[in-house]
Amino acid sequence: MIRVGYPSAIAAEFFAGFPREVEMVPLSESLDHDIDIDVWMPDPYPARSLRIAPHLRGLKLVLSLMAGTEWIPGAVGTDVTICNARGAHSVSTAEWTLTAILASLKSFPFYNGVQQAGEWKRRFEMPERYARISGDARPLYPPVMLEELTGKRVLLVGHGSIGQQIERLLAPFDVQLTRVARTARTAPRVHPVSELDGLLPDAEIVILILPLTPDSHHLIGPAQFELMRQGALLVNAARGAIVDTDALVTALHAGHIRAALDVTDPEPLPPGHQLWSCPNVLITPHIAGSTPQFAPRAVQTALDELKRYLAGKPLHNVVRPGV
């Protein structure tokens, strides 16, 4: 009998379709004793999982319910195979990305402030705001009150399952899309990340949706912000540490770029942190994947992988094999 540990916070009904030869073991975040399991589905919140990881014995396989697994190797050792939930959160994260782009271009955070103030005439602050961030000082009439996504030059940095879903959602807007990933590919053309600096100056929107690795840590730093065009929109739905926070704050305060962030570094972003009050930034607290479909999709991804494991078939979403 294979013992599979899962977060007790996830309703047992989601595991109703698991094979009979599997014993499902609910694991509370307050677990305070050692327990033997073969397979572990960690809690989506790493802090909770890290508290119980030292109590797990006999572990052979981790089936993460998340795409990101950077914290897991240090918690389980080198002899445990780790799989992620590739594809489980593609739709929700891609929808957040599209929403964040549109909200930023349509200046919804500013107009929410107009609504809260109850001052209709504040709308006439927008033409000056647009000219300041875009560098476009032409005397445009009627006054510019928002921007269009259609036809924008978009640099998509990361072209896995989420990146491909973002591309699908962007298609109706006829954007000029350039793809970047860790390695070059053809059909469709994907540039290697080594070419990123040469692509940044032309991009009006830069979307980050790649894994956090030693190579991608601070991929966007002072030099990259200098390369970005005036008024470019940086969208980070990946991991906060891919961006150098100090450099981001400097670029935002300089009025050089704008940003939409679902992830930050540090995270959680503490009260009073300077990033909260930066101009031209939209921040959500790492919620892009948290929809009602989160648990069903993630658990189904884990189930598909577990069935392959039980049948002795190759696993699909291995991010690190056990040794």
Residue 239 designated active-site: yes
Residue 316 designated active-site: no
* Pair of tokens at residue 11: 């309703």
Q: Do the beta carbons of residue 29 and residue 53 sit within 8 Å? A: no
R_g of the chain, CA atoms, integer Å: 22
The shares of helix, strand and coil residues in the chain, as percent rounded to the nearest 5, are 40, 20, 45
CA 276 – CA 284 distance, rounded (Å): 10
- Residue length of the chain: 323
Q: Which of 132, 169, 123, 144 is nearest to 253 (CA)?
A: 132
Residue 267 designated active-site: yes
Catalytic residue among 239, 256, 258, 297: 239
Q: Do the beta carbons of residue 252 and residue 258 sit within 8 Å? A: yes
Q: Are strands 61-63 and 35-36 parallel, antiparallel or unpaired?
A: unpaired
Catalytic residue among 167, 286, 297, 305: 286
* Pair of tokens at residue 132: 């300041």
Q: Any idea what DSSP says for residue 28? A: -
Residue 109: Cβ within 10 Å count:
14
Task: Put the strands of the sheet holding 153-157 in their side by side order.
Answer: 191-192, 176-181, 153-157, 205-208, 232-236, 257-261, 281-283
Q: Are strands 81-83 and 153-157 parallel, antiparallel or unpaired?
A: unpaired
Residue 84, burial from CB neighbour count under 10 angstroms (0-12, 13-18, 19+): buried
Q: Which of 103, 94, 91 is nearest to 149 (CA)?
A: 103
Catalytic residue among 168, 226, 267, 316: 267
Q: Any idea what DSSP says for residue 120? A: G
Catalytic center residues: 239, 267, 286
